[in-house]
Amino acid sequence: MKQIKLKTIFGVACLSAYTLLTACSQGLFQLGSAPQVNEFSNQAKTFAYECQGGYSFTASIDNQQAWLFLPERTVTLMHISAASGMKYSGERVMFWSKGKEALLEIDNTIYKGCKNNHSKAIWEHAKLNGVDFRALGNEPSWVLEIIAGEKITFSQPLVAKRFEFTLPEPKVNQSARTTQYDTKDNEHTLSLVINGKSCSDTMSGESFASTVTVILDGNTFKGCGKVLH
């Protein structure tokens, strides 16, 4: 599996040219990597299940296999026949999805009423596909994703626009707790500023660690973001 180089930095601004970190609070901050779902199956869908009793886990599922990222370990399950729904088993774990709910059994312990948190699943899907930092904004809706050492993508889903740029070296201002990326291609220019200031999404009210400003071809987009690895 792909491993993203890990770098540890002390300080209030935590971004480097080798790994992507967002501006953060004082102290030790580490950036790791997660297995990429597209290494297992290009057709896999990601779910963020929340079960009765407070147990939660992430699942990447296709017609043949299910990869469950459990709090205690990661397991790979194979599809088995079931009277209804989709059922997977292996490594003393059984997962059974029926309609909008799922059931999970681990070593004879059963977790019922597992439901997908769609909003959280979107972020988990990005993480499993190698995205290191993700930001979003509203009015108009936009999403920005960074894969460390590779690229920045900026998309506007409602108008089906997507721009991809090479990830440049960051400009870090530790006193201001900001990191800036300036990049361009043959037709477009993009400037990204990540500020280590807390941010709330204007639609959902969800809190994020960073305030994000994107300038694409002179047009400014403001939103919130966070590190995924």
Outline where 48-94 has alpha helix (H). none
Tokens representing 9? 């930095």
Contacts of 129 (CB under 8 A, 6+ apart): 36, 37, 38
Cβ atoms of 95 and 77 within 8 Å: the answer is yes
Single out the residue of 35, 223, 200, 52 nearest to residue 138, CA to CA: 223
Structure tokens that stand for 183 in this block: 């990049």
One-letter identity of residue 162: R
> How far apart are the C-alpha atoms of 102 and 87, rounded to whole Å?
9
For 93-105, what is each residue's pLDDT tens digit? 999 999 999 999 9
Provide the residue type at 33 as one letter: S
User: Tens-digit pLDDT profile for the chain (229 aa)?
Assistant: 333 322 222 222 344 433 344 344 332 222 333 344 444 445 689 999 999 999 999 999 998 999 999 999 999 999 999 999 999 999 999 999 999 999 999 999 999 999 999 999 999 999 999 999 999 999 999 999 999 999 999 999 999 999 999 999 999 999 999 999 999 999 999 999 999 999 999 999 999 999 999 999 999 999 999 999 8
What is the number of other CB atoms lying within 10 angstroms of the CB of residue 125? 18
Q: What fold is seen in the domain 38-120? A: Lipocalin (2.40.128)
Report the greatest alpha carbon distance in the chain.
61
Q: What is the pTM of this model?
A: 0.78
Structure tokens belonging to residue 70: 């459990």
Quote the pLDDT of residue 32: 34
Alpha-carbon torsion (222, 131, 12, 208), positive or negative: positive
Q: Where in the chain is the domain with CATH 2.40.128.200?
A: 38-120
Q: How far apart are CA 183 and CA 179, in angstroms?
A: 13
| Separation between Cα atoms, residue 87 and residue 109, nearest integer Å | 17
